[in-house]
Amino acid sequence: MSDPTMDSERTQAPASERSGFNRRKFFGYVIGGTTLIAAADIALAEPAKAAIPSPPQIPEIYDLNDLLTTATLPTANLITVTINEDGTASFALPRAEVGQGITTSTAMLIAEELDIPVEKVKVTLADARPELLFNQLTGGSNTTISTFTPIRVAAAVARNALLDAAAILLGDEVNRLITKAGAVLAPNGRSVSYGELAKHAAAPKTKKVEVELKDVSKFTVIGTEQKRIDARDAVTGRKVFTMDLKVDDALPTMLCRPPTLNGKPVKLLNEAEITSMPGVTDVAMVDTGVAVRARTFGQCIDAIRAMKVEWRDGPVAGESDEDIVRKLRQAEVPLPKISELGLDKLKLGPINLNLVKSIDADFLFYFRSNSALDTNAAIADVRSDRAEIWASLKSPIVAQQTIAQELGLPQNKVKVHVVQGGGSFGRKLFFDAALEAAKVSKAMGKPVKLMWHRADDARVGRMHPMATSRVRALYLGTQVLGFVQNHTSIETDFRHGLGELITAHVADLPTGLGNFGFAETIFALTQEIPYNFGVVNQTLVETDDRFNTGSMRNIYSPDVRTAAELVVDQLAAAMGLDPLTFRRKFLKDKRVLACLNKVAEVGKWGRPLPKGMAQGIAIHKEYKSASACLVEIDCRPETVGRDIPNAVTGPRVTKAVYAIDIGLAINPTGLRAQMLSGINDGIALALTSSMHLRDGHFLEASWDNYFYTRQWNTPPEVNIIVMPSDAKTPGGAGEAGVAASMAAVACAYARATGKVPDYFPINHRDPLAFRPKPFVPPVPASPTNGLKLTY
């Protein structure tokens, strides 16, 4: 799209201004064209101002979302709402929908300002738009926060242009007209639909106009319960994911991958045999393995299983969990001693350090997979002078740049289409499949539809890094004097754009952050201890970059929060206080406290439970949201030992109550869905799901190896409460349900068993609950006995 040239300023106030409400004015554009196209600069959001971050912790003043929002400012680029002649409005969202419901909430924002039914708003995902720089990154639960204003401005511009056109058509004054349900109505009862107006409202030349947004108190769509706009497609099988796209000649393609993590192929030893297999069209070696293209994916699997390949070992060959734990331990920095904490800064008067007691705790968190159900997949059509890519991508611009570089093409010769994803959990921040598909397509000289096998997606895909979290809490009588947390982690890979974004905006960060690395910056921008605990200090050290890691949903928070909340429970016990009473006494944030009180009331905190069952309660604050979770867990032997074939049963969370204050909730239905999702993630992280590294490779290769929460683990009773809020802006939701849930489950487990776990998930060191699948060949054969298993 070309830059708008302005030819006239519109100063006329919208009709609605007469209502006397104080509304916010913004400039937008009517774009020259044959139908009505209204636009707004996507950089319209206002970031928080940075301040010196002491004594409050940094996220209280300037958090990751402020950085993401700030990052949108320097780009002056437009998002557009188009009014079509069929009466619909269309909008290409420069973000990735992966299940989090942003197409639905975006449709609601447009419906609100445009006065059009939600189902008449068509939201698609924009192709990579390099001019948007950092503003096409879906991450950090930032979509709604950063697009809330610009999308509404564009819709409001469209509404005004429709009113102007209607005034001429209906022969009435603009300020006597109203808009309703996709039509403009005159006092005499005449009306004209947006569809009829679309052409008339089109502007011959682009012009800049001023609009005023609806006041929060006038919202009739935002804040109401709205079902997903793609629900019908999903339940009829019509929703299209990457693997469902039909692109000419893009035949099924898969890779035979090395037996050790990140090993390299040296030579395919039986190429002639493979190429003569049924359905196979092409074979090619790329840096990650040997690719095969065939008529069906089943024939790709058969070919992979028949391949004889010479491999070079990967960088962790021979190593196992214990070796990595040892490396982590070596990287840990000692926790400060009492005398080093600077307790004198608290101005408590003289303290007899000999009377200060300390609680030291040390937790280990194993590797976890963020594999989605929709495995890594991409379609690539690479020609000598151009390339076209389709994939679910949360950082499509970085993907485009990297692929262009890899192919030796100018960036504008690589077209990148963003497809809806079947889940992400941080996985689709990376473009591993898209890059690999591009390489394979180039090597074969043909279009490919590349799919990762489940076994590859689990074993070689991105992961939450292994980490330790050590806490030292100091208390004297009933006062907590200090709380120190040192988190030590295998390196988290942020090379998907978030890293570059930080580099580009170092100057915008609060004092002191500029010298940090990516990971430390993100840690500092997201972590916070929302209690009055005297001297508070949280730090991160990362080590070892040999693993395929990434920012799994909620990045550091679930582990950091779980470690902290377990120590909070220990502090409470040391002071003879119940976990709820203790938290009420020390919480410093009113919104968190309100959430805590809510879950305690709804979840009936303290109700009598049989021996072996217990409640747990925990809080979290992040992404401008506050939350609390109460769970009940059943650790009685008859429950733990219940038998379900090929399953990890174990302790059962029988009830979960979650309260979330996200500020303005655009769509409470969608918000509750995100929290339910977070609860199930938290349960898995605490109890059942992890990756085992043995002898240079991860063992888990299927959903019956990697035990994400299943129906037999999910709580039969769930209650999610969206807290009332008078905030005028939304907070982030995509990740806000994980941390408090994991922490509450861990606390409940500790109370039910009387034993505080020192590693997570709690079953990681149990005998393996499955027989590991072979590594050569790297993918299992599909069974043939399906007709014997019908029901």
User: Considering the rule CB under 6 A, would residue 348 count as an interface residue with ligand FES?
Assistant: no
Q: At its nearest, how many Å lie between another protein and the CB of residue 228?
A: 6
Least Å from the CB of residue 297 to ligand FES: 10
Q: What's phi and psi for 488, nearest 5 deg?
A: -125, 125
- DSSP string across 572-597: HHHTT--HHHHHHHHB--HHHHHHHH
Size of the site for another protein (CB under 8 A): 77
Which residue of 28, 47, 94, 99 would you call a contact of ligand FES, by CB under 6 A?
99
Q: How far apart are CA 203 and CA 182, in angstroms?
A: 20
Per-position x/- string for 75-104, each x denoting binding to another protein as judged by CB under 8 A, each - no binding = -----------------------xxxx---
Task: Name which of another protein, ligand FES, none residue 355 binds, using a CB cut-off of 5 to 8 Å depending on partner kind.
Answer: none
Closest CA to 460 of 759, 680, 764, 779: 779
Q: Which of 487, 523, 485, 486 is nearest to 502 (CA)?
A: 523
What are the residues facing 482 on neighbouring strands?
474, 535
Find which of another protein, ligand FES, none residue 371 binds, CB within 5 to 8 Å per kind.
another protein
Q: Quick one: CA torsion of 304, 307, 310, 314, rounded to 10 degrees?
A: 10
Identify the DSSP state of 134.
T
State the Cα–Cα distance between residues 674 and 141, nearest whole angstrom.
Answer: 11
Q: Which is nearer to ligand FES, 455 or 659 (CB)?
A: 455
> Which residue, 300 or 324, has its beta carbon nearer to another protein?
300
Q: Which of 106, 375, 401, 488 binds another protein (CB under 8 A)?
A: 375
Q: Which stretch binds another protein (CB under 8 A): 30-38, 162-170, 359-367, 420-428?
A: 420-428
**Of 262 and 420, which has the nearer Cβ to another protein?**
420
Tally the C-alpha atoms within 13 A of residue 36's C-alpha that lie toward its C-beta: 32
Residue numbers 660-679 binding another protein by CB under 8 A: 669, 673, 676-679
**Of the candidate residues 124, 188, 270, 296, the single one contacting another protein (CB under 8 A):** 296
Q: How far apart are alpha carbons 520 and 275 in whole angstroms?
A: 49
Nearest distance, CB of residue 452 and another protein, angstroms: 10
| Binding to another protein, residues 239-268 (CB under 8 A) | 239-241, 243-244, 246, 252
Cα–Cα distance for residue pair 426/461, rounded to 1 Å: 11
Cβ-closest position to ligand FES? 373
CB of 704 to another protein, least distance (A): 5
Q: Which of residues 411-450 bind ligand FES (CB under 6 A)?
A: 422-423
Provide the CA 212 distance to its chain's centre, in angstroms: 32
Q: Is residue 768 part of the contact set for another protein (CB under 8 A)?
A: no
Which of 385, 711, 724, 726 contacts another protein by CB under 8 A? 711
Stretch that binds another protein, among 20-28, 173-181, 268-276, 698-706 (CB under 8 A): 698-706
Residue 434, SS3 per DSSP:
helix
Q: Does 117 bind another protein (CB under 8 A)?
A: no
Q: How many residues bind ligand FES (CB under 6 A)?
A: 4
Q: Which does 641 bind (CB under 5 to 8 A by kind): another protein, ligand FES, none?
A: none
Closest CB to another protein among 508 and 700? 700
Question: By C-alpha distance, which of 35, 213, 29 is closest to 110?
Answer: 213
Q: Which does 353 bind (CB under 5 to 8 A by kind): ligand FES, another protein, none?
A: none
> Helices (DSSP H) in 603-667: which residue ranges?
637-640
Q: Does 297 bind another protein (CB under 8 A)?
A: yes
For ligand FES, which residue of 373, 504, 644, 781 counts as binding (CB under 6 A)?
Answer: 373
Q: Report the distance separating Cα 123 and Cα 95, nearest Å.
A: 11
CA 36/CA 116 separation, integer angstroms:
15
Query: Does the protein bind another protein through residue 696 (CB under 8 A)?
Result: no
Residues 629-658 within binding reach of another protein (CB under 8 A): 644
Which is nearer to another protein, 102 or 198 (by Cβ)? 102
Looking at the Cβ atoms of 88 and 705, the one nearer to ligand FES is: 705
> Can residue 124 be called a binding residue for another protein (CB under 8 A)?
no
Can residue 551 be called a binding residue for another protein (CB under 8 A)? Answer: no
Q: What is the 3-state secondary structure (H, E, C) of 641-659?
A: CCCCCCCCCCCEEEEEEEE
Cα 55–60–65 angle (5° rounding)?
140
231 is an interface residue for ligand FES by CB under 6 A? no
Answer whether 87's CB lies under 8 Å from 195's CB: yes
DSSP state of 140: T
Which residues make Cβ contacts (< 8 Å) with residue 601, sequence separation at least 6? none
**Minimum CB distance to another protein, residue 645 (Å):** 9
**Is residue 279 a contact point for another protein (CB under 8 A)?**
yes
What ranges in 489-645 are assigned the alpha helix state H?
498-504, 518-526, 557-574, 579-586, 590-602, 637-640
Query: Do β-strands 479-490 and 467-476 pair in parallel, antiparallel, or remain unpaired?
Result: antiparallel
Strands of 178-180's sheet in order across: 178-180, 183-185, 191-193
Q: Taking the complex as a whole, how short is the minimal distance between the CB of residue 374 and another protein, in angstroms?
A: 5
Q: Does 516 contact another protein by CB under 8 A?
A: no
- Footprint on residues 2-61 left by another protein (CB under 8 A): none
| Cβ-Cβ contacts under 8 Å for 273 (sequence gap 6 or more) | 306
- With CB under 5 to 8 Å by kind, the binding choice for 112 among ligand FES, another protein, none is none
Q: Smallest gap, in angstroms, from Cβ of residue 392 to another protein?
A: 10
Between 391 and 673, name the residue whose CB sits nearer to ligand FES: 673
Residues of this chain that interact with ligand FES (CB under 6 A) are 99, 373, 422-423
